[in-house]
Amino acid sequence: MTDTVIEPPEGRVALDNYPSRPDVTGPFLRWLQASGLAAPGAWLLDPCAGEGLFSAAQRLHGFRPLAVEIRPECEASLVAATGGPDRVVIGDALAHPYWPGVGVVTNPPFSHTMEFIDQYGREGNRPFAAFLQRLNYMAPKIERPIEWWARWCPSHALNLPKRPAFIATCSSPACKRRYPLERAKTLCVCGGRLSRTVDMTEYAFYVFGPEA
């Protein structure tokens, strides 16, 4: 358990580390099987694997996970989550397109989502690539030229059935410090109770597949 405080005004977790909980991963992995894009036993790559919550969920649903993570301190938990050290790479997933030919399922850092789509969306002869992001992420923005939209058009946008929670927030009106979600139901440094905080925005998995 961490005592890291996410102080306002920044408000965001270091490295945009918002782990994928079961209420996020479960519905999508069930859809992935039902759609026929990936059958049980298929390899799935998460290039933003963190401590391996998404990888563990993939194994639970019958897939074989592969993981890339930039933080060395996550290696042990990733080996446990994926099922073996040969399934884990500690390195920069944007510097090298790991495991070409394998479908991608990931929750990328918000500030680097476009880079991960560019690197893994259709590169490496992949059957599909799915990225979790806010529902309004694909809305037109000036920093994305028309050429980007011409290239990156998702075949599916799959809304999560519930808004996810990624952080815990202090209930004291005078504080409102933010913590990683695992601190929910514990106490803040100010003595206030920490509660699970649901995001204010709907989320979806954007899938770039053979129909795109």
The number of residues making up the chain comes to 212
Q: Is the C-alpha dihedral spanning 20, 22, 27, 28 positive or negative?
A: positive
Predicted local distance difference test score (pLDDT) of residue 196: 73
Token reading at 127:
């059957």
Q: Tell me what pLDDT residue 140 has.
A: 61
Give the model's confidence band at 194: pLDDT under 50 very low, under 70 low, under 90 confident, else very high.
confident
CA distance 148 to 139: 12
Q: What is the pLDDT of residues 111-139, one digit of tens each?
A: 888 889 888 986 668 899 999 988 877 76
Residue whose structure tokens are 């390899």: 43
Q: Distances in Å between the alpha carbon of 31 and those of 136, 153, 175, 185, 202?
A: 21, 20, 40, 32, 18
First to last CA, the chain: 41
Nearest CA to 165 out of 178, 155, 154, 149 is that of 178
Spatial separation of the C-alpha atoms in residues 202 and 9, rounded to whole Å? 22
CA 148/CA 6 separation, integer angstroms: 33
DSSP state of 95: T
Average pLDDT, the chain: 82
E-only strand ranges, 47-134: 64-69, 88-90, 103-106, 129-134
Q: pLDDT for 4-44, tens place per residue?
A: 444 433 444 454 566 677 778 888 999 999 999 999 999 99
- Most confident region among 14-28, 58-72, 163-177 by mean pLDDT: 58-72
Closest CA to 84 of 92, 93, 75, 71: 75
pTM greater than the 0.85 cutoff: no
Q: Are strands 178-180 and 129-134 parallel, antiparallel or unpaired?
A: unpaired
